[in-house]
Structure 1
Amino acid sequence: MSDNPQVSRRTILYGTAIAAGSVMLAACSGGGGSTPGSGGNTSGTGGTGGAVGGKGSAKEPLPVPATFKESPLLKAQADSGAIPPIKDRLPEKPLVVPHNWVQEGKYGGKMQMLAETTSGDRASSIGEFFCGHKIIRFINDGLDIIPGLAESWEMNADASEWTFHFRKGLKWSDGEPWTTADIMFWWDDIVINEEHTEVAPDEARSGKNTLAKFEAVDEVTLKMTFDAPAPLTAQRIAMWVNGPMQNGPWWMVPAHYAKQFHPKYNKSAPKNWAAAGGAFETKVDFTRNADCPTMAGWRVKNYREAQSITFERNPYYYVVTKEGSQLPFIDEVVFTAVQDPEVGKLRMQQGGVDYVQGQFMKVGLSDISTFRQTEKQSGLDLLLWDGGSGTSSMWFVNYDVKDPELRKVFRDPKFRQALSLAFNREEAQKAIYFEQGELTSGTLSPKAKEYLVNDQGKQAYQEWRDAWVKYDPEAAKKLLDEIGVVDKDGDGLRELPSGKKLKLSIDYSANADPEHIAKDNLLLQNWKAIGVDGTTNPISPEGFNELWDNGSLMVHSNWEVGDGPNHLLYPQWLVPLEQSRWAPLEGRMYSLRGTAAETQQLDRDPFARTPPRMEAEKGGPIEQLWNLYDKTKLEPDELKRTQSVWDMIKIHVEHGPFFSGTVANTPRVILKKKDLKNVPAKENLQLGGFANPWIHPTPSVYDVETYYWDNPDQHA
């Protein structure tokens, strides 16, 4: 990959900036050398983001203020009669933002940000800034859940019936009432409508994988009834950001607006959803269509395809501060598309960007030295939040690879263990991650509840983390010898037991980050040192998934495992449930359970089935994992579910690694203008931050709507 100028430049940075970068990291956490998570008063500028030392967020709802305040712009509109007065725009009991670091702010100004693009699936990162469509929400880095649109909720004894009570007086951004009819429209006319591609999310399925019954008891009460326990319902509803073209399920659509584009309600609307070319989704996408009402803090003011999106304050946003100020504080938010990360970084250094969530613009640890050097020109403070990853850049062999001899070798734990033991993670930690994080065999996020609940959880994490983390090439060679993967012809490279040359192909999407490419190059060097030959194989992103899903590719490398805040919310790394991870054909088989396809084409070769799918080996590790997972779906007792997770981890330790990591919990870079306030420092966040996983939507979980300018007139 040396012919890639961007990669070449990054490689140089890794080699020459490590000492400076390591020193800089210590100065960026905002704690002035304090222990991470220690709290204390950290008021001021620089690394604190203007936050005043409060740590974490209140678990119980805060009292509703007696009076409310609003932006001068909205007050002028209300005084003119263009919109109702503030008391009529807010619900009876607004959500009071719970974060202890949030201080009363100032209204006004504009915030300039960058996005890789404003169109297509890759624009989904923009949605990570808006959590207004959440029924209930994560706080405290995923440890707790609080109300959102719903004011309260409860379940029955066996978790088979869930009832949500929504705030009275909620309104869409156009002033029309929000009611449970907006959820029922999504459910009845989109999800249940087999002609539409939207599918029922996990939180709408019981432990038997059957759909819930949705009932709008009244305009502010929704009941979900399952045919079996569904104990994870609340936690799964708290995941993701919601809405069309976002990362999570829609969960609600403004029915009063959307019905005009639905063939059931408008005979002139396209009856063939596919033929309509996604027109319905475009119309109801509140992050790009200025006409579509939203429940988020900002609404679209102007959208320019593949260029920029300008958002303006939603006059009806239902969230306030404890002092009674309706959020958001900032008037407008602008996302400008910059596809080349290096061009984006140059704009940041020149002072043209106000806030950067590093993972969305490929700003990483290797950039710290540069941003420190350009701090005076850029006006940007640099913060570090915990990423929460359990692997950083990782890799996994295809457990269901098409070649039968390779499949037999790949399924032998000793082969995968040898590849892990051959990897010099300390070298990678220094060269790529500036000595940050902790070496790991690869786990789910170290912030997951199952690891924090007690000493047994801590031990489960440590055993998985350390199982195959040691750099021991001699032990790796011995394991390969034991399974007959030896050098038969004396050229220093190993052959398969049949005598066929073994050459691993590290397959990755051609738009992979430099972090992954650098790690892959180290892997190849380390593997060759034990006699395992390999090469890298960039593949067009458009064709990668199909090749992986049907077993045509060998080694996947350009992902990470960041999932939490508990293992069962998004368990696809722990258990093969679909086709994109380490056992694609078996995962696909599980995903088709309960459908006609589960029992069809079983007389065909698994790779010739449509879609390709394969039964798990009887008594094998995947069947064991499936059985344990199925048990958890029906178990209302959280401690018993946790015990089942620990049992699944034991299978990963005994029969794994099924995926392998590099280092865990490396920092994420956050950049913000010096006078942008209420941006939390790492010390303000309950677990130091949890920035990486999409299911814990960052930064929206920290309420970007509370950010404000100390001098708003300078950012008009």
Structure 2
Amino acid sequence: MNFWKGLGACALVATSLATSSVSALELKETPGLDASLPPVAERLPSEPLVVDMEATGRTVGTHGGALDTLIGRSKDVRLINVWGYARLVGYTEDLELVPDLLESVDVEDGRAFTLNLREGHKWSDGHPFTAEDFRYYYEEIALNEELNPSGLPPFLLAGGKPPKFEVLSDTSVRFSWDDPNPLFLPELAKARPPFIYRPAHYLKQFNPKFGDPDFIKKAAAEVKARSWAPLHNKKDDMYNARNPDLPSLQPWVRISDDSDRRFVLERNPFYHRVDTTGQQLPYIDKVIMTVADKKLIAAKTQAGESDLQARNLSFSDITVLKQGEGSQGYTTALWANAKGSEISILPNLTVKDPVWRKLLRDTRFRHALSLGIDRDMINRTLYFGLGKSGNDTVLSASPLYKADYLTKWASYDPEQANALLDEIGLTDRNGEGLRLMPDGRPLEIIVETSGEVQAQADALELVAETWRELGIKLYIKPSQRDILRERAITGDLVMSVWWGFENGIPTSDMPPEDFAPTHGNAFSWNAWGDYYETHGEGGEKPDWPPAVRLMELYNAWLVSTSKEERTKLWGEMLDIHAEETIHIGLVSEVPQPVVVNGVENVPLTAIYGWDPGAHFGMHRMDEFYLDDKAR
């Protein structure tokens, strides 16, 4: 079947517009471009992606200007490849998956995916973007043990087997498996996608199979690489934007490497998108990313030093940002955070201490902890009541949402909490009134934090007050995220606080990997996740019935072939999380401030998330433009 059959109206509009040809438009040259470049008709694909601004509720923009934004560290220059969000397929604001770099995708039984490129599409250096770029990635990089010693990533495996890869033409390739692979397309749309294509014409010069050995040896010496493989990997930098010589398909590209504090990203003159008036996107000429102390970014934004800012801003900055609106003329938009919870307390179900392990795996204990938290008080105190009190789960914007997921075992009921603790047998107390654990230790819970988010520590202080009424003492232990991960790996971590589920707005077609023990970096079940990732060579095999069932459901999702089946599987997984209180979420949908200063087409209400979303990416930053004053 064709992949696009049955998609929502927004997606159908986008795909039908993408069939317009260059000849049907009155193309306009972009002012200020290098005069030596080919004319716009030769720079665009023969079938560009044509965007109807009116259909998406936006206005046709004007070319020009530089957009200033602040980043907290030099490595954050990679965000230009997140916000640009040029993907083979990408999400619309309605969470529909549609073709972007690709002209179309054909899917057969969820097992075979034919990717159809846009004829005449070019890299940022003007070289053709063709099937050879996919072949080079798969055969010369993904399957090369020197470049990729860890082997194929999970999204390229189905039933544990690799795909059959075929080049069908210069503009068409096919990946096919014996079993369904529902991971494949969603992976391509991520904020950090796998880039299953590479600029082969550029990278071949660093590969001894194609390049000159003397050149490769010299180039390796210049970057202090021991051999061709680390040299190749250093040059092959599709995500991090650290190699300005690497051709790109993104709307803005880095063209110089002369500073580590101020990065100038310039428009890609061969970008594949165009509006219905014949203007090639992006509208904005340059994006300038300046490194600033994270603690000063809110103040600098208030002073008018950023045209578009969300990174390194938090809810606590809203008051000061609002105060600067009058003098600086910017707007502080409030977007809905897409995380399952702004703050989530995570019991470690694979902690090595046997007494703690038994207690944390007792559903009654987790329920008691949850019922012993006054979430409404936390919401009022920290977020002025603007968030939603409740569990760490999917949000109301997700088609999978049910109100019960948010509220189950999440009301403040100290009487029921105490009764559950008594039922477990935790009835003995010491002289301070603290309950005693089965081995006689006082019930003192150390909750470890990364030390990065003040709101997490503030929330834990409030939790400590109400847990003390249950006979439980909470200690806050600030640490660092690397140390947290190490303690989770060793099993010493008892409990931690973190953000909630990264994707709080999933559809049934998105993988439920975070809701099952599939990752070894998860604080709540590191050992089980490690077991899955190492195929049983490390970690521990899940032996807790809810975790076993979650893995069964996840594995069933991996071989599912229909939306109905995937929706049912997702539903049971969410039911288990709601019933078991695996994460103890506190408050969700806390507004994310987004400062807009002279930038048009930026929505005032939107979703702010990583996956899906890519921060600004899903809202098409290439369609933003600067007003007359800003230009």
Give the alignment's TM-score, normalised by structure 1. Answer: 0.80
Q: State the distance in 1 between where 2:365 and 2:593 align.
A: 36
Q: State the distance in 1 between where 2:60 and 2:243 align.
A: 31
Aligned to 2:89: 136
CA spacing shift, 1:338–1:435, aligned 2, 3 Å: same
Q: State the distance in 2 between where 1:56 and 1:214 align.
A: 28
CA spacing shift, 1:667–1:331, aligned 2, 3 Å: same
CA spacing shift, 1:194–1:467, aligned 2, 3 Å: same
Q: State the distance in 1 between where 2:592 and 2:478 align.
A: 26
Aligned to 1:190: 141
Aligned to 1:355: 308
Give the partner amino acid of 1:507.
E
**Conservation of the 8 A alpha-carbon contact between 1:504 and 1:555:** yes
Matches for 1:212-611 after TM superposition, within 5 Å: 212-238=163-189, 240-241=190-191, 247-266=192-211, 267=213, 268-269=216-217, 279-285=231-237, 287-304=241-258, 306-341=260-295, 343-356=296-309, 358=310, 360-361=311-312, 363-451=313-401, 461-510=402-451, 512-563=452-503, 564-566=505-507, 569-581=510-522, 582-593=524-535, 598=536, 611=538
Verify: 1:104 aligned to 2:56, yes or no: no
Q: State the distance in 1 between where 2:51 and 2:271 align.
A: 12
**Conservation of the 8 A alpha-carbon contact between 2:341 and 2:392:** yes
Structure with the larger RCO, 1 or 2 (CA within 8 Å, 6+ apart): 1
Pairwise CA distance, 1:277: 10
CA spacing shift, 1:690–1:212, aligned 2, 3 Å: farther
CA spacing shift, 1:427–1:578, aligned 2, 3 Å: same
1:600-620: per-residue Cα shift (whole Å, max 9, x none)?
5xxxxxxxxxx4x111227x1
| 5+ long unaligned stretches in structure 2 | 1-8
**Conservation of the 8 A alpha-carbon contact between 2:168 and 2:174:** yes
Aligned to 2:4: none
1:682-708: per-residue Cα shift (whole Å, max 9, x none)?
2xxxxxx22123333121111111111
**Conservation of the 8 A alpha-carbon contact between 1:486 and 1:494:** yes
109-118 vs 210-219, greater mean Cα deviation: 210-219
**Conservation of the 8 A alpha-carbon contact between 1:441 and 1:662:** yes
2:474 alignment partner, SS class: strand
Give the partner amino acid of 1:69.
K
Matches for 1:644-663 after TM superposition, within 5 Å: 644-654=569-579, 656-663=580-587
1:588-609: per-residue Cα shift (whole Å, max 9, x none)?
112223xxxx2x5xxxxxxxxx
Counterpart of 1:177 (choices 119, 128, 138) is: 128
CA spacing shift, 1:527–1:257, aligned 2, 3 Å: same
CA spacing shift, 1:408–1:226, aligned 2, 3 Å: same
Q: State the distance in 2 between where 1:627 and 1:377 align.
A: 57
Pairwise CA distance, 1:274: 8.3
Q: State the distance in 2 between where 1:480 and 1:306 align.
A: 55
**Conservation of the 8 A alpha-carbon contact between 2:342 and 2:588:** yes
Aligned to 1:709: 626
Q: State the distance in 1 between where 2:556 and 2:30 align.
A: 51
Q: State the distance in 2 between where 1:190 and 1:496 align.
A: 54
Pairwise CA distance, 1:514: 1.8
1:275-331: per-residue Cα shift (whole Å, max 9, x none)?
789654442335232211110111113345541210111110110112221011111
**Conservation of the 8 A alpha-carbon contact between 1:196 and 1:273:** no
Give the partner amino acid of 1:406.
W
**Conservation of the 8 A alpha-carbon contact between 1:505 and 1:537:** yes
Aligned to 2:28: 69
**Conservation of the 8 A alpha-carbon contact between 1:128 and 1:697:** yes
**Conservation of the 8 A alpha-carbon contact between 2:392 and 2:500:** no
CA spacing shift, 1:150–1:549, aligned 2, 3 Å: same
1:222-267: per-residue Cα shift (whole Å, max 9, x none)?
10111201234333322x13xxxxx332322211111223344343
Aligned to 2:5: none
Q: State the distance in 1 between where 2:195 and 2:323 align.
A: 43
Pairwise CA distance, 1:390: 2.1
Q: State the distance in 2 between where 1:229 and 1:203 align.
A: 11
Instruction: Give the share of equivalent positions with the same residue, in percent.
Output: 27
Aligned to 1:60: 15
Pairwise CA distance, 1:441: 1.8
Aligned to 2:3: none
Give the partner amino acid of 2:113.
W
**Conservation of the 8 A alpha-carbon contact between 1:392 and 1:561:** no
Pairwise CA distance, 1:652: 2.2
Verify: 1:626 aligned to 2:551, yes or no: yes
**Conservation of the 8 A alpha-carbon contact between 1:488 and 1:499:** no
Counterpart of 2:72 (choices 103, 112, 116) is: 116
287-296 vs 191-200, greater mean Cα deviation: 191-200
Q: State the distance in 1 between where 2:301 and 2:92 align.
A: 30
1:580 alignment partner, SS class: coil
Q: State the distance in 1 between where 2:472 and 2:446 align.
A: 11
Q: How many residues align?
A: 605
1:361-383: per-residue Cα shift (whole Å, max 9, x none)?
1x223222212221133331111
Aligned to 1:153: 105
Q: State the distance in 2 between where 1:415 and 1:276 align.
A: 55
CA spacing shift, 1:180–1:339, aligned 2, 3 Å: farther
Q: State the distance in 1 between where 2:233 and 2:446 align.
A: 38
1:140 alignment partner, SS class: coil
492-501 vs 312-321, greater mean Cα deviation: 492-501
1:60 alignment partner, SS class: helix
CA spacing shift, 1:577–1:163, aligned 2, 3 Å: same
1:487-543: per-residue Cα shift (whole Å, max 9, x none)?
432321122112122221111223x22222222222222222211112112223333
Give the alignment's TM-score, normalised by structure 2. Answer: 0.90
CA spacing shift, 1:108–1:283, aligned 2, 3 Å: same
